[in-house]
Amino acid sequence: MLAAVMVVEGVLRLPDSEGHIDTGWGLYQSLAKNCRLHLLSHTWTEQDIAIWLHKRQITGHQSYLHAPEPGPAGRLEALHRVRAWRIGALVIESDPACATAELAAGWNTALITSALQGPRPPSTEPQAIRPWDDLAEDVERQHDLRLTPHTPEHR
């Protein structure tokens, strides 16, 4: 059975708000019925998120993961605790920088964007086009990561 990790902020809940995102709520309901769904947040404790979910009658996930800090480092640290799930697991993410880091670490990642979050200011830095060979190398490296046994001696 597929395991999925849904980031709460930006997918299920509006960042810096008590409000939920309807699209994320619908996705949560579908995933909770069809896979082992786990929630991840850096903002709230397990007790805080339990209260927020209970108020909205959102039930069905397996567990809650707390990221120690926002951003890619915190997400990866939380995901590292469930390292054995990496093969076949899906991370549902709202932050492009976090999604990039998760992909680089070998996680299958779905990036969800929401118009409710508002447009992000355009980057002032020029975006370089990555050469095809670099992309192909990344795909091969991720494939190799998925095939690597995840036992204590391989860490």
CATH number at residue 54: 3.40.50.1000
Q: How large is the angle between the packed helices 96-104 and 132-147, nearest 10 degrees?
A: 60
| Contact (CB, 8 A) for 50 and 152 | no
pLDDT under 70: residue ranges of the chain: 84-88, 115-127, 150-155
Residue 4: strand pairing partners: 37, 90
pLDDT (0 to 100) of residue 133: 81
Q: What is the pLDDT of residue 140?
A: 82
pLDDT at 20: 85
**Is there a contact between 75 and 94 (Cβ–Cβ < 8 Å)?**
no
Q: For residue 118, what pLDDT is reported? A: 52
Report the DSSP beta bridge partners of residue 89.
Answer: 3
| Structural domain span for residue 21 | 3-154
Residue-level pLDDT at 31: 92
Predicted confidence at residue 73, as pLDDT, reads 94
As given in the structure block, the two tokens for residue 96 are 């492009």
Residue 5: per-residue pLDDT: 93
Determine the pLDDT at residue 44: 83
Q: Supply the pLDDT for residue 92.
A: 95
Residue 34 vs residues 2, 50, 61, 124, 155: alpha-carbon distances, Å: 8, 21, 11, 42, 31
Any idea what DSSP says for residue 62? -
Contact between residue 44 and residue 79 where contact means Cβ atoms under 8 Å apart: no
State the total domains in the chain: 1
